[in-house]
Chain A
Amino acid sequence: DGGITQSPKYLFRKEGQNVTLSCEQNLNHDAMYWYRQDPGQGLRLIYYSQIVNDFQKGDIAEGYSVSREKKESFPLTVTSAQKNPTAFYLCASSTIRAEAFFGQGTRLTVV
């Protein structure tokens, strides 16, 4: 089955710790995206990548980092510089017409 796989579904982070969220796709899409979702704020773009070994900052990139070493994979690291990381994180990939396919999300909580 083709799709987007995010893991883990739930993640807990201690203060000052870096954590990495996984996103894998087998749709053969060039473009991949990370969004953050907070209650009442819709989706905000963190980073996106339109080709392997290249990525761009979105609207709220501070405190996050990404890599795109393989077409299928686009992991997101939430660094200790992100002061308010508790949120729901969504990964997506898209066709060239911007038709996006989403993973099931990772809920990150600071403990």
Chain B
Amino acid sequence: AQSVTQPDIHITVSEGASLELRCNYSYGATPYLFWYVQSPGQGLQLLLKYFSGDTLVQGIKGFEAEFKRSQSSFNLRKPSVHWSDAAEYFCAVGALSKVGSSNTGKLIFGQGTTLQVKP
């Protein structure tokens, strides 16, 4: 079955430090990959997406992610974290049909990583 794994449930970084959130997926073809951010009591906001092409994608709020097919990873990075980045982050992959050859339009989410930022 397709799955998304975010190995880190909780991460704490100091303000101004760099950040990397890990995401691994199991998939049989070129995946559609996404990172979302959620502040407490709010909906999810799309940070960035990967469909094809350049494996380094830029998103909003200074975030970027790199798709590495050989490692089945799509890690999220930010060079310098701000206190306002404290939130929960979800990695997601577009689900394939049971036949495995077409995108269903649904998303499979990881369990999320909670980011805490120390002053």
Determine if B103 is an interface residue (Cβ-Cβ < 8 Å). yes
User: B108 → chain A, closest Cβ, in Å?
Assistant: 9
In the complex, chain A residues 52-72 whose Cβ is within 8 Å of any chain B Cβ: none
Could you say which of B42, B90, B106 has the most chain A C-beta atoms within 10 Å of its C-beta? Answer: B106
Residue ranges of A at the interface with B (Cβ–Cβ < 8 Å)? 4, 6, 31, 33, 41-43, 45, 48, 50, 88, 90, 92, 94-105, 107
Q: Is the CB of B43 within 8 A of A90?
A: yes
Q: Is the CB of B109 within 8 A of A42?
A: yes
Given A33-B106, A105-B41, A107-B41: A98 touches B111 (CB 8 Å cut-off): no
Could you say which of A88, A99, A107 has the most chain B C-beta atoms within 10 Å of its C-beta? Answer: A99
Q: Is the CB of B51 within 8 A of A97?
A: yes
Q: Is the CB of B34 within 8 A of A102?
A: no
Q: Is the CB of A102 within 8 A of B45?
A: yes
Closest B residue, CB atoms, query A95 = B105
* Alpha-carbon gap, A104 to B39, bound state (A): 10
